[in-house]
Amino acid sequence: MSSIWCQNPKCPEKGNSNQIRGVKGSKYYQSNKANSYGKGNFCTLSCYDTWASIYMDRALIALNVKITEPVKFSLEDAWFIDSEYHYEFDSENCWIYFLANKLFNIKHPITKAQAKILPNERYSENISSAQAKELANTLGLTQSK
């Protein structure tokens, strides 16, 4: 099994003492092992930033995902699930969930079951904007029927 190395090709140029490898007479600097930065692809945030400044535009263009025009949400489609952690000194700490729409300035409390959130998660990507809108309709928070 091979190690996962920092994906920044400029990583060895940092010249840190912990990157020195080789035997006397033929020493060299080597990339660090990747850590948790950039989804586990970089050893430090600095290496991620260096890589991003060089390659991010190329990656977005190559993957054909570069946004060239603003992304817009209509008022009715801007529903999402949000949560807040509440700390109480003498009671049980808990997450409170909300059905929210920043464009309507609505933040309506809902249950964890309505939010479809797994334990210890702040939010869930399992519930789409359309599902959140449907929940808003069910709760009577929208003008449409």
Strand 94-101's sheet: what is its strand order? 80-86, 94-101, 106-110
Q: Are residues 97 and 48 in the same domain?
A: no
Number of folded domains in the chain?
2
Q: Are residues 47 and 88 in the same domain?
A: no
88 pLDDT band, cuts 50/70/90, is confident
Checking if the pLDDT of 106 tops 80, the result is: yes
Checking if the pLDDT of 124 tops 70, the result is: no
Q: What kind and span of H or E run contains 129? A: helix 129-138
Q: Are 133 and 76 in contact (CB under 8 A)?
A: yes
Question: Which pLDDT score is estimated for 1?
Answer: 34
pTM, 2 dp: 0.51
Q: In which domain, by residue range, is 24 found?
A: 11-62
Q: Are residues 21 and 54 in the same domain?
A: yes
The mean of the pLDDT values for the chain is 82
Checking if the pLDDT of 144 tops 70, the result is: no
Q: Are residues 126 and 89 in the same domain?
A: yes
Highest mean predicted confidence (pLDDT) among 13-17, 106-110, 126-130: 106-110
**Residue 1 lies inside a defined structural domain of this protein:** no
Question: Which pLDDT score is estimated for 2?
Answer: 45
Question: Which pLDDT score is estimated for 53?
Answer: 95
Contacts of 134 (CB under 8 A, 6+ apart): none
Question: Which pLDDT score is estimated for 51?
Answer: 95
